[in-house]
Amino acid sequence: MSTDRIDTETAHSARIYDYIIGGMDHYPADQEAGDAMVREWPALPVHMRANRDFMNRAVRYLAAEAGIRQFLDIGTGIPTSPNIHEIAQSVAPESRVVYVDNDPLVLTLSQGLMSGAPEGTTAYIEADMRDPAAVLDSPAFRETLDLGEPVGLTVIAIVHFLLDEHDAVGIVRRLLEPLPAGSHLAMSIGTAEFAPDEVGRVAREYAARGMPMRLRTLAEAGEFFTGLDLVEPGIVQVHKWRPDGTGTEVVRDADIAMYGAVARKPG
């Protein structure tokens, strides 16, 4: 794919994230933005790594304990190993994963993702999550996932970029709607409840670059899981969701601005 669609002059949330967690796929505008944000909140890299670790644990739980063998990942971002298909296929090589993002750079970099375990499948949809029909009606969705079997819907560190007029809860419900009983939703949801001043300053840095945020309270985070059965320990800060002891850094609650949870669709 041509890279001429990639705007390298404007900072992008996925590339800022990549820069802050130590990746290689970003541009000077992203580095400038990331440096400005870390100056405002030095714990930001700790927070982002904790979110990444939560995703890893949640996917491993879904594959190893919930028996999920197919995944729909919304807002994939820059590929950083281990990716969802690597985690799931390490448990069950036949696992199938559909990635969704709307950044041309993510699409370009994700071409290499298409080779997972030979028994499994990975596919990529270029779509905006604000248009769930573009995801659900795509050939890659219909051809890769079997809607007769449960699906793990992962929505990690993305809904804070959906404002009230976008109806983030409605979007997630629409994505869950065609998924059968036994499917699971894994989410991390931005919040300013633990470090309001610092996180507020980071949010202003994002907004100044055209990426306004909607940070949510615990009660607002809970709205995404209405009608679903939360897996223990429920909705908690991401570093508190089933920690496995593999983390090497001490994480303070004030350093984490993300709630995380996994829930099952009943029926």
Q: Would you state the pLDDT for residue 1?
A: 38
**Is 179 within a domain?**
yes
User: What is Dmax (Cα atoms) for the chain?
Assistant: 49
- Give the separation between CA 62 and CA 81, rounded to whole angstroms: 18
**Is 100 within a domain?**
yes
Q: Summarize the confidence of residues 222-248 as an average pLDDT.
A: 93
Query: How confident is the model over 24-65, as pLDDT tens digits?
Result: 888 899 999 999 999 999 999 999 999 999 999 999 999 999
124 forms beta bridges with 99
Confidence band for 117, pLDDT divided at 50, 70 and 90? low
DSSP state of 29: H
Q: How many C-beta atoms lie closer than 10 Å to residue 252's C-beta?
A: 11
With a CB cutoff of 8 Å and minimum separation 6, the contacts of 139 are none
Q: Summarize the confidence of residues 233-252 as an average pLDDT.
A: 89
Q: Summarize the confidence of residues 98-116 as an average pLDDT.
A: 72
Q: Would you state the pLDDT for residue 23?
A: 83
Count of domains for the chain: 1
Q: Would you state the pLDDT for residue 262?
A: 98
Mean pLDDT over the full length of the chain? 90
Can you give the CATH number for the domain in which 138 is found? 3.40.50.150
Q: Is the pLDDT of residue 84 over 60?
A: yes
Q: Which domain holds residue 208?
A: 13-264
Highest averaged pLDDT of the listed ranges 14-18, 24-28, 191-195 = 191-195
**Is 1 within a domain?**
no
Cis amide leading into 82 (omega within 30): yes
In contact, 178 and 136? CB cutoff 8 Å: yes
Q: Would you state the pLDDT for residue 60?
A: 97
Share of the chain above pLDDT 90, in %: 72
Q: Summarize the confidence of residues 219-246 as an average pLDDT.
A: 96
Global pTM reads 0.92
What does the block give as tokens for 121?
Answer: 């499948």
Task: Report in angstroms the alpha-carbon separations of 215 from 99, 129, 183, 204, 243.
Answer: 24, 18, 26, 12, 24
Q: How many C-beta atoms lie closer than 10 Å to residue 1's C-beta?
A: 12
**Is 7 within a domain?**
no
Residue ranges with strand state E in 109-224 = 121-126, 152-156, 184-190
**Is 4 within a domain?**
no
**Is 8 within a domain?**
no
Q: Would you state the pLDDT for residue 21?
A: 85
Q: Would you state the pLDDT for residue 214?
A: 96
Residues constituting the chain: 267
